[in-house]
Chains A and B, each alone.
Chain A
Amino acid sequence: MSAHQQFADDLALLALGTLQGDERVALEKHMEGCPACRRELERLRGDTALLALSASGPKPPQRSRERLLKAIAQEPRAKKIPARRSSSNFKPWLAAVAFLLLAGFFWRQSDRLAQRVAQLQDESVQQQAQLERAREVVSTLTSTDAMRVTLVAAQTPPQPQGKAIYVRERASLIFLASNLVSLPPQKAYELWLIR
């Protein structure tokens, strides 16, 4: 019997949060060195989430929504921003024709990126060319000395604007913004991807 099989039942209990004592200690120790069990624990937690779905009932009362919104209004977010979300403080940049451009890429796993680059290098000349073009686009977007111009009708005052281009499969995101209002010190812009 392999170690995983020995721990299989206990993993389910751990996912449910009901495993205690020595059994829990032993399993947690085993998991430190066992990615397979850690993955299985995540999946079992997912299974418990399915169980959550079997709960049904009335909607929460309207007062709950008001209570929450009131509470968050009274408790502004701290200025510390989690690194895994795209966020930045924007400042208006130069005058009306100057636009702030921000491009960010999320690469979900840097080793996947490295692998991908290696793969591309091995592939055909055509793909090399495509990659070059892609790189040019990116470097143009991200270049600090690039000139950015937005064309608008005359007499139009500068409008705050943000544009996000997101490709789920590649986990890559480009965010372009211009003329965003500068925020008080405690506030920051955030971009949320919600699944």
Chain B
Amino acid sequence: MTATEPQAETDERPIGFGRLLRKEDPRLIRGMGNFVDDIQLPGMLHLAILRSPMAHARIVSIDKSAAEAHPKVVAVITGEDLAAQGLAWMPTLSNDVQAVLATDKVRFQHQEVAFVVAEDRYSARDALELIIVDYEWIDPVIDVRKAMDADTPVIRDDLDDKTDNHIFDWETGDAAETEAIFASADVVVSEEIIYPRVHPAPMETCGCVADVERVSGQLTLWSTTQAPHAHRTVYALVAGLPEHKIRVIAPDIGGGFGNKVPIYPGYVCAIVASLVIGKPVKWMEDRTENLVSTGFARDYVMQGEIAATKEGKILAVRTNVLADHGAFNGVAAPVKYPAGFFGVFTGSYDLEAAYCKMQAVYTNKAPGGVAYACSFRITEAVYLVERIVDCLAYELDMDPAELRLKNFIQPDQFPYETKTGWVYDSGDYEPAMRKAMEMAGYDELRREQAEKREKGELMGIGLAFFTEAVGAGPRKDMDILGLGMADGCELRIHPTGKAVVRLSVKTQGQGHETTFAQIVAEEIGIPPEDIEVIHGDTDNTPFGLGTYGSRSTPVSGAAAALVTRKVRDKAQIIASGMLEVSVADLEWNKGSFSVKGDPEKSVTIQDIAMKAHGAGDLPDGIEGGLEAQICYNPENLTYPFGAYICVVDIDPGTAVVKVRRFIAVDDCGTQINPMIIEGQVHGGLADGVGMAMMEMISFDEDGNCLGGSLMDYLIPTALETPDWETGHTVTPSPHHPIGAKGIGESATVGSPPAVVNAIVDALKPYGIRHADMPLTPSRVWETMQGNHTPPI
């Protein structure tokens, strides 16, 4: 153990899975982390971006002369300058294009128009004010419901022959079969359910430092990226830079939540600036820039329908979705899945039919459609089904827990193929639901609620049961911009038995440096403190698609386990030579091989490592060294699930909602580090409370973004969040080498419906069946008055 390795008070010091303090903490609690904005290079310049004040306007002229004359300004670059180099446009993650700097017109408020490079950050910002841009107003398209109306201005007139604001139509399931069931069902419930536009808003905004070496042409980019390898390849494709001359380093990242998956114009601007000027250039956005221009999430208007028997057997679910993608289609999702994994909107229930029809459109709003901890649109899907199931419970006057229990997919039905073609790997839903109900004291809560209702007090109990699909994904089906979603891993055991493991994924707070050391430790018996985890540096790690969509453990975690097994297999052969027995006569005891039936005769993995590098012969055909590399192609997604219960109290006089309790039972398969799992769940639960009750990026009719600061875009603090109560069940994934399923986004997916269901449940005495997020006091008040309006 090194001097700085933290030790838990009641330390299990597991060599493998178990509660283990984090290896990343000693530097972070000392303020010794290394975030992008901490990087200072000799001669480094600062870049600031001029953004459009209008949502839709033609650029008539740009006068940059005054800015150029500023004594500390080194360069001022416009879209026209970039166009001259063929760099004015770049590809998005969905094969659309996005302007790096606007040339013809601006298409959303705060779009990038020009940039300044100056000697210090204050001067760069000062000079932005000296650039004069003449705009000619065009009516913006803000109301998503009107985007396809006949006389609406065409936003993307840059695309050949574009005559409307249509992006794509998509459908899944069987329309006719579903219609037949709806036509004859006892009960049909229909509701418009809106998931408003929200923003991941990590505490660290996006930024980078680009450094192009003049002579070698080598570009080093320190960048806030969740996917360093994918970014490097895209830079190579966009800028025509040779890929081996690009090194992307993601240092410590201050939270990502999907916001740091896309490539933003600022990164490209910084690279161009460094290339042109020959000095390192830093770009760091401010909070407003982060909220108004980088990847948002959600923005789905969903018409949900559910059909059931009068006894409460759910037969079918159907939905029609209108998706607002903003001005450029920048959705981060595998190519064949334009709506991400929304297809799992059938939820955790055994249905007879399902159908979804979706239309995606352009509007004059910021582009994006990133995860925000949603595993590719599963948040929207789960919200839809869990909300509409509650609407059904309301109509049937049935307890929502009972309704869910009655309709779950049963354990013997796994692997279960849904009506939209997803194969759920494993699940045992009822025990998770029962456990949550027991932790909550569900029956007692219902009794308390009945008493309170008698007295006119408003108390609500909300449930949600979710199944996620994470760990994208099998390369036969899934790629982003043509890059397969497999992940590499490399393990090297040094002669003294210490190890280094190199990952293609990258932590933004999830604790990869700890959990991946634990995976290797579990498989080879070397203590985690003797295992160094290297990640976030394309020069020093194998290729892979990065960390988002809860894919690190399902994909890279599998790679880490398998590469370790490969090393162990080699170690076994070397051990057989050392002990002079056949390989088959050895048994593994987590850290050493011994001769079967003669445990005294054994060699440790450390002995073997020294032998592998040391003097003397090795068994025939075995090379020296003890290392391996693999690239793991997942055979299926993994399907974590969970049961959540939220208890709220509403002040009838002010409509202020207090989240009194939140109980979360999660099943993410095999647990690697329960402490970290609990932390991942807690964070997601707070996200859910935020989205359900506070967060929304809204616009006025002129396209002004009304959520451009943390005063307008409200994020929960310690006062809005309760002390979370968590529990778990363990249903391993059958196809993952250690049975783990991933946990990063479960709580963000599962908590919003639980909170909304609780609030709607509290409002039952008012005859309320549905209310849309964000359920702020004013919106709850309006709902109580019978004036609920959709948020968009």
Query: Is chain B a partner of chain A in the same complex?
Result: no
